[in-house]
Structure 1
Amino acid sequence: KCLQTALAPDVVHRDLKCDNVLLDKEMNVKLSDFGFSKRCFRDGSGKIIPSQTFCGSAAYAAPEVIQGIPYHPKIYDMWSLGVILYVMVSGYMPYDDSNVKRMLRLQKEHRVLFPDSLSMECKDLIFRMLQPDVSHRLRIEDVLNHPWVQGKRLKSRIF
């Protein structure tokens, strides 16, 4: 529910990171720090106008943002959520941001190393959220319907 609210139509956070994910005493997830959030603007045909402003932290930034390419802000937020999920299930970052050039190369090559302990479904979800090709990166509806989120098994083995 937190994701659906935060990623409501035409609203983007643009600084999703572990530091901005909070838990209340009932273990409900809350998002904080909406300083970079904004409403998306649409053109005459209804398509979201790409953003050009770099927001957030490099370690959570999608390749297109690091490269300074105009980006779809909702798809950018999905990348950041993939990084957060990776950290939550593994305990460490998927990419070392101490060398941004190297990090960008690994991101663009779609190289994600997973702990052996993760289920195939979990790996698949994160791998698809961290897709460098924005046309293939999962959307919120895809994440919410993914077998790992739904507690189901994948039909075919990919890892």
Structure 2
Amino acid sequence: MKSEETLNGDLHACKSALEATHTRILNIDFSIEQPTLMPNMENDTLQYRPIISASRPFRSWTQKIIHSIGPPCKITFIPVSSIDFTTNYQQDKTSEIAGSIMVRHLEEEILHQDFRILKSLDFGSFGVVKLACHLPTNTQVAVKVLEKNPTAVADNTSEVEILQSLEHRNIVRFFHAIDTVNMTYVVMEYVPGKNLEMFLRKVAYLTEDEARPIFQQMVTAVHFLHQRLIAHRDIKLENILIDRAGNVKLCDFGLAIQLKEGQMLKKGCGSLHYMAPEILAGKPYDGLAVDMWSLGVVLYVLVTGQFPYEERTYHGMHKVISNTKYPLPYHLSKPCCQIIGRLLAVPTRHRITISQLRGKTMAGPH
């Protein structure tokens, strides 16, 4: 057991280090105001009660999270005597490790104390999505559970960073990310309803009048992304949620990427039936252009109930796209057929952009 004099010295060192920097915790940039550090003589640790001022991107959700981690919540540090705090805290790697341990400990507590998992909502190639309740606010949320491994950590980080930067009525809202030793839990808005794939099961296909407001909302969401040079790269019926009021939200940003102007991508990804021919051919591709192809597939399925091209392999899909023309049912209007044709143009130089698409009647502002 440490003496009270030693603990007081540790408290002073820890307080100075904390006040010398802005620490990133729970993905909230916060500064410390009137911190209170308290020795816990029973378990030889320091406990810190924070008063937090948080910044974007939380806004209204910020207050909910702050209430859940603020006083009287206590954050437990590892014993400070084992840490060599220096004057420049931000450059002290030992202190970074200690801070990381502290953050990880808090996030584990937040996960287990503040969230109750209710049921599984969906399964995907990158993780499972569960319905949960945020207990302090009695709010239902969707939690995407991502397992960490050497190849997936970067992807998890990218998805969280992109979601943090987005706030749009037709994009599922990001609330919070909980980063534990083995998992990343991405807490998002829960959209009661179905995805479009489930929605179409009972109706086969939609009339153009029925499809128009759905497609318009999708175009609005993609326009928002492309203005910011963000490519989704996995636009498909399963990743488009629709509630009972007909409100549409794009979700699952596991393959999304922040682009640089003119950047071409090499890594092929996406779902076979929605893949653009340039990806299937293994060529460098424009991430924004492949989103437009996927939008064309979505529109085609909405108004016909079928995929424009169907094959089971990448090679087979590329061959059928290159050598055949998708069928156009007689009931489709000429403007609708024209939009599908511009979206499913094989040469990317002929493929319509999202800004051009916004000017079309079928896809104009909703």
Fold shared by both chains (TM-score > 0.5): yes
Kept in 2: contact 1:60–1:83 (CA 8 A): yes
The Cα shift of 1:146 comes to: 2.0
SS of residue paired to 1:30: strand
The Cα shift of 1:70 comes to: 0.2
- Deviation readout 1:71-124 (Å, 9 max, x if unpaired): 000001100110011001111111112244343123224612111111111011
| AA partner of residue 86 (structure 1) | Y
| AA partner of residue 22 (structure 1) | L
Report 1:3-152 matches (<5 A): 3-42=222-261, 48-109=262-323, 111-150=325-364
SS of residue paired to 1:89: helix
The Cα shift of 1:141 comes to: 1.3
Point out the more displaced range, 102-111 or 14-23: 102-111
Note the residue ranges of structure 1 that are not aligned, 5 or more in a row: 43-47, 151-159
Q: Cα gap change, 1:41/1:6 in structure 2, threshold over 3 Å: closer, same or farther?
A: closer
Instruction: Indicate the structure with greater strand content.
Output: 2
Kept in 2: contact 1:86–1:94 (CA 8 A): yes
CA distance in 2, matches of 1:122, 1:5: 23
The Cα shift of 1:67 comes to: 0.8
Kept in 1: contact 2:234–2:270 (CA 8 A): yes
CA distance in 2, matches of 1:93, 1:6: 25
Kept in 1: contact 2:280–2:317 (CA 8 A): no
Kept in 2: contact 1:60–1:79 (CA 8 A): yes
- Look at both structures and tell me which one has the larger radius of gyration over its CA atoms: 2
Q: Cα gap change, 1:8/1:28 in structure 2, threshold over 3 Å: closer, same or farther?
A: farther
Q: Cα gap change, 1:6/1:100 in structure 2, threshold over 3 Å: closer, same or farther?
A: same
Report how many residues are paired: 145
Kept in 1: contact 2:280–2:315 (CA 8 A): no
CA distance in 2, matches of 1:37, 1:53: 12
Where does residue 155 of structure 1 map in the other structure? Answer: none
Kept in 2: contact 1:75–1:139 (CA 8 A): yes
The Cα shift of 1:4 comes to: 2.0
The Cα shift of 1:149 comes to: 3.0
Kept in 2: contact 1:78–1:129 (CA 8 A): yes
Kept in 1: contact 2:233–2:291 (CA 8 A): yes
| TM-score (normalised: structure 1) | 0.84
CA distance in 1, matches of 2:306, 2:231: 25
SS of residue paired to 2:348: coil
| AA partner of residue 28 (structure 1) | N
Kept in 2: contact 1:110–1:130 (CA 8 A): no
- Deviation readout 1:41-91 (Å, 9 max, x if unpaired): 23xxxxx21001111111100110011100000001100110011001111
Higher RCO (C-alpha under 8 Å, 6+ residues apart): 1
CA distance in 1, matches of 2:250, 2:287: 17
CA distance in 1, matches of 2:318, 2:226: 25
| TM-score (normalised: structure 2) | 0.38
